[in-house]
């Protein structure tokens, strides 16, 4: 569950900061969400997912 929470938080942060622009008509935008690494470490994603 912790890994999934970190993954969802990473995707949310990528959208909020503009790292990935989502366009459901283009599969590349979903690839961006899957592969984006806007933070240094996945532990930060878990941390922000738990407190935010």
* pTM, full prediction: 0.65
- Residue 32 CB neighbours (<10 A): 18
Residue 23, phi-psi category: left (phi > 0), alpha (psi -120 to 50), beta (remainder): beta
First and final CA of the chain: distance in angstroms?
Answer: 16
To the nearest whole number, what is the mean pLDDT of the chain? 78
How many angstroms separate the CA atoms of 28 and 47, rounded?
28
Q: What is the pLDDT, as a whole number, of residue 24?
A: 67
Distances (CA, A) of 32 to 5, 29, 45: 18, 5, 17
Report the pLDDT averaged over residues 27-43: 77
pLDDT tens for each residue of 12-26: 888 888 888 777 677
At 36-49, the pLDDT tens digits run: 877 777 777 777 77
């Amino acid at each position: 569950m912790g890994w999934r929470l970190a993954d969802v938080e990473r995707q949310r942060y990528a959208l909020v900061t503009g790292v990935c622009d989502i366009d459901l008509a283009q599969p590349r935008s979903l690839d961006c969400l899957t592969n984006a690494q806007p933070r240094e470490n996945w532990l930060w994603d878990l941390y922000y997912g738990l407190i935010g």
